[in-house]
Amino acid sequence: MKIGVVGLGYVGIITAAVLASRGHQVIGVDVDKEKVKSLNCNRSPIYEPGLDELLRKVKINYTTDYSKLSDVDIAFITVSTPTVNGKILLDHVFSAVSSLSNVLRRDAIIVMKSTVIPGTSRKAKELSGMEVVVNPEFLREGYAIEDTLHPDRIVIGGDKSAGDLVEEVWRFTNSPIIRTSLEEAELIKYASNSFLAVKISFANEIANLCERIPNCDVNVVTQAMGIDKRISPYFLKAGLGYGGSCFPKDTLAILGFSSELGEKLRIVEAAVEVNNERPLRAISAMKELMGEIKGKRICILGLSFKPGTDDTRESVALKILNLLEKEGAEVIAYDPKAKVEGIKIARNSEECIMSSEGVIIATEWSEFSGIEPILKGKYVFDGRRVLDLKKLDNAIMVGVSRCKR
């Protein structure tokens, strides 16, 4: 098929690359000239494992010119949908819909892959007069290619025959396909992300409890819980909380949306509240270890919101960094992939640790495990459970008893 992908961010580039690798003719459109230029020079603007290799193998036409989509069969919308002041911002989506409706063939199909609140795609359909199908994206950054090739399920919402065409695009995955209404497909994405956020916050509250009970380690508790098939082990890991471009904004967007409908999502509200508190806990752990942190040099290991990506959107590490600076600490950081301007960055973890009195593990990059020998004499808060507490002298680990019997 001839396929357009509108919005070349994390989701758009991966979708374009995977579809091109399946033999489709793909045209990628973005309003960001620099991004398009860099993609046309074979430079990916994002880090994602396997992406550079995949992009070298496929041929994709990148452009800022929507008119290049005039004869595509399907146009995927993968533009950003940020949450601003507790409300989803749909300007990018509607701008893309409007540009598409000016250039597409009348029988082409618009596929909404961006995460949008229920009702958005029906409105897009009415405004554009085009057939719109919802096909939410569930990929995880760090595993994005694998997740696009082999998703757990594919949700397709909307009209039967338009949905059939989208089903044909994804049939190669052999994944279960669920056909729904437009609104159900939109809500499935929010319900899924909110539920995962709830699981993470639940594990984090159990971690808080473990810290106050002698002889308790949250990992032992959650591992045993996760063996129960009804619970499952995924997203039950205690740590510093969730960040990234999805959970924080999606939980707030669904809360804003539901309150407009006069419904309260109390469990999601609680998950957000628990998550907001996580960075503060890192600060109190450092104070517990070091006493005063004002004027002290503290190193943060990991800046990306999780390992395997350079994405720092809503990264907990950056929130901790800001809090430390507000408290008067001097901060230096190191991350294997993420690049952040305006902060002091070390060339490697050793340099970062050696120049500091305190160390916070904020992202669980695998290269941070086994660094206990160079942490000797430092005050360490392991917020991501990568170290062996027995090998450290002055350390606190999330979810491990802090009281001795």
Contacting residues toward ligand NAD, per CB under 6 A:
6-12, 29-32, 35, 78-81, 92, 95-96, 114-115, 137, 139, 141, 245-246
What is the closest distance, in whole angstroms, from the C-beta atom of residue 32 to ligand NAD in the complex? Answer: 4
Residue matched to tokens 């601003």: 84
Residue in this structure with the two tokens 């990018």, named with its chain if needed = 92
Q: Which is nearer to ligand NAD, 28 or 399 (CB)?
A: 28
How many Å separate Cα 326 from the centre of its chain?
A: 26
Give me the least distance between CB of 79 and ligand NAD, in Å please. 4
CA distance 333 to 352: 6
Cα separation, 247 vs 197, whole angstroms: 6
Structure tokens at 346: 């070390």
Give the span between the Cα atoms of 14 and 145, in whole angstroms: 6
Residue 75's φ and ψ, nearest 5 degrees, are -125, 115
Active site residue 216: no
46 Cβ neighbours under 8 A, 6+ residues apart: 9, 10, 13, 309, 310, 311
Residue nearer to ligand NAD on the CB measure, 64 or 322: 64
Instruction: Kindly state the smallest distance separating residue 171's Cβ from ligand NAD, in Å.
Output: 21
Task: Report the residue closest to ligand NAD, judged by CB.
Answer: 9
Contact 93, 79 (CB under 8 A): yes
CB of 124 to ligand NAD, least distance (A): 13
According to DSSP, the residues that pair with 297 across neighbouring strands are 330
Of 41, 210, 216, 246, which one is the catalytic site residue? 246
Residue 311 CB, nearest approach to ligand NAD (Å):
7
Give least dist CB 140 to ligand NAD, A.
Answer: 7
Candidates 313, 392, 310, 321; CA nearest to 362 is 321
Owner of token pair 């004027």: 295
CB 255, min distance to ligand NAD, A: 15
- Indicate the residue among 144 and 400 with the shorter CB distance to ligand NAD: 144
Nearest Cα neighbor of 274 from 364, 203, 184 is 203
Alpha-carbon torsion 192, 176, 29, 307, what sign?
A: positive
The C-alpha atoms of residue 275 and residue 314 are separated, in whole angstroms, by 12
C-beta of 140 vs 376, nearer to ligand NAD: 140
Cα→Cα distances 17→4, 24, 28, 183, 237, Å: 12, 10, 10, 28, 31
Residue 283 and residue 298: Cα distance in Å, rounded?
A: 11
Report the C-alpha gap between 327 and 323 in whole angstroms: 6
Rounded distance, CA 314 to CA 312, Å? 6
Q: How far is the CB of 236 from ligand NAD (least distance, A)?
A: 20
Cα(184)–Cα(118) distance, integer angstroms: 7
Task: Give the nearer residue to ligand NAD in terms of CB position, either 67 or 95.
Answer: 95
How crowded is residue 206: how many other Cβ atoms within 10 Å of its Cβ? 18
Catalytic residues: 246
